[in-house]
Amino acid sequence: MAVSASIGSFRIGDGEKPLLIAGPCVIESEDLALSIAETIAKLPIAREFQFVFKASYLKDNRSSGSSFRGPGMDAGLRVLEKVRTRVGCPVISDVHDVSEVAAAAATLDILQIPAFLSRQTSLIEAVGNTKKPVNIKKGQFLAPEDMLNVVDKVRAAGARDVLLTERGTSFGYHDLVVDFRGFARMRASGCPVIFDVTHSLQRPGGLGASSGGEPGLAAMMARAAAAVPVDGFFIETHPEPSKAKSDAASMLPLDQLAGVLEDIARIIAAVRR
């Protein structure tokens, strides 16, 4: 089965340049979002990818009620619109509720359904009704083949350009594992499959009031997925992860991103040869 999706001028799937969805976990400020987006876009290796800037305007799934959740939808969408205008890249963010969908669709190039909401039929249908490209993250509690039902839901509602993102599966307490067989099983839907490098290394709730992670393994996991291969990579990155207001323990330092992308590009080129 052919695997393909379109996002504006981007074509994702068989034989195309890999998609790169990258940015900080959450919008902390307009200046930081713009700085990170500009830095990524200017990397020489970024030319080997199709870059989409990611940052959440709201992080509703937090370990602690006191955790920073972002600027909110209205302010966050204004920041993302400015990123698109200044940097010239598509933008993506999470939608959490049917009430958010119309406003988010008016600004975002891709609507993203978070992993914990990947079975929420009303939300999936509302996103599909917009006819916008959608990225659905596989729930940590789902088998890869369960995502075929999710794809059927969103396509029945009207979506045509659908991405599926693997972010690991729950395995015991505070741990996630990635079953690389799942990439093939999800690609059987005809949807391009994206590998969420940094979230797959998260340890949900592992630090008590926040999640832990193992970002030191990001390059290894990205290289392995590039050899599968997958159609794109989702990498959360920050200039100073230890000071980040969300996912501080799992984001890749921004100054390490180029090296990871160079490894990915070399492996994809070798596989295609």
- The more confidently predicted of residues 144 and 61 is 144
Q: Classify burial at 142, counting beta carbons within 10 Å of its beta carbon; exposed 0-12, middle 13-18, buried 19 or more.
A: middle
- Top-confidence range, 61-65, 128-132, 200-204: 128-132
Output the average pLDDT for the chain: 94
Q: Classify burial at 26, counting beta carbons within 10 Å of its beta carbon; exposed 0-12, middle 13-18, buried 19 or more.
A: buried
Position 247 scores a pLDDT of: 85
Q: Using the 8-state DSSP alphabet, how is residue 139 labeled?
A: P
Q: To which H or E segment does residue 177 belong?
A: strand 176-177
Question: What tens digit of pLDDT does each residue of 187-233 get?
Answer: 999 999 999 999 999 887 666 666 677 889 999 999 999 999 999 99
Residues in CB range of 73: below 8 A, 6 or more apart:
57, 58, 100, 103, 104
Position 209 scores a pLDDT of: 60
Angle at 231 between CA 253 and CA 220, to 5 degrees: 40
Position 71 scores a pLDDT of: 94
Is the pLDDT reported for residue 61 higher than 80? no
> Please, where are the H alpha helices in the chain?
30-42, 73-87, 98-107, 121-129, 147-156, 181-187, 218-227, 257-272
Q: Which of 9-13, 109-113, 131-135, 174-178 has the lowest mean pLDDT?
A: 174-178
- 106: containing domain: 4-272
Q: How many domains does the chain have?
A: 1
Query: CATH code at 200?
Result: 3.20.20.70
Task: Decide if 54 contacts 19 (C-beta within 8 A).
Answer: no
Cα atoms found within 13 Å of the Cα of residue 35, Cβ hemisphere only: 12
Task: Decide if 241 contacts 252 (C-beta within 8 A).
Answer: yes
